[in-house]
Chains A and B, each alone.
Chain A
């Protein structure tokens, strides 16, 4: 069964304290792995798409990496405004043309000033 697991469930950091969030997946053929950010009371906001093992994407203090079994979202020198829930989703190889995604439960990140 296709599955996405994110860890930890919650993470509290001090401003400037770098860390990583994990997204492990088991799917029948990965067509894409997606990272989204969700602020309280809002819809998810797209961050990155990764397609193949070894690929990396960066945006400001965030860097996403991908292996054959998992993805990491590295947060370098975080600021309080990085506080949010980070969601991981994958598109499996049998998704056809409908773009259906399998979502993880997210990691709730709090960055203290």
Chain B
């Protein structure tokens, strides 16, 4: 029972580097989300997708891009990492209103 799998689990980037976070779900869910979680800020929605081939902006989309080429995968890209993007990133998927979360990716930008 894999559920929602995120890779990598940890990553350190230098300012200006780029990277892609991968989220994969095996539950055939239509909806997928990328959140970031910061102390004192709670969970904030970065981007989301309502189905294969669709993406939309959330609360804090600047500096991030996403793609949903396949229903089971949702990719989050950072084109030029900044220290302000140091955070824990969570991917989630849902079919009904209940969302299932991945284990998170701890990203540090130095």
Name A residues whose Cβ lies closer than 8 Å to a Cβ of B.
32, 34, 41-46, 49, 87, 89, 91, 97-101, 103-106
Q: In which size bucket is the chain B interface?
A: 20 to 34
Which residues of chain B from 38 to 53 have any CB-CB distance to chain A below 8 Å in the complex? 40-45, 48, 50
Judging by beta carbons under 8 Å apart, are A97 and B102 in contact?
no
Judging by beta carbons under 8 Å apart, are A98 and B50 in contact?
yes
Name B residues whose Cβ lies closer than 8 Å to a Cβ of A.
4, 31, 33, 40-45, 48, 50, 56, 58, 90, 92, 94, 97-104
A36: shortest Cβ distance to chain B, in Å?
A: 8
A20: shortest Cβ distance to chain B, in Å?
A: 21
Top-5 shortest CB links A-B: A43-B101, A103-B43, A103-B42, A105-B42, A44-B101
Q: A98-B48, A98-B50 are in contact. Are A46 and B99 (CB under 8 A)?
A: yes
Which residue of A has the minimal Cβ distance to B56? A98
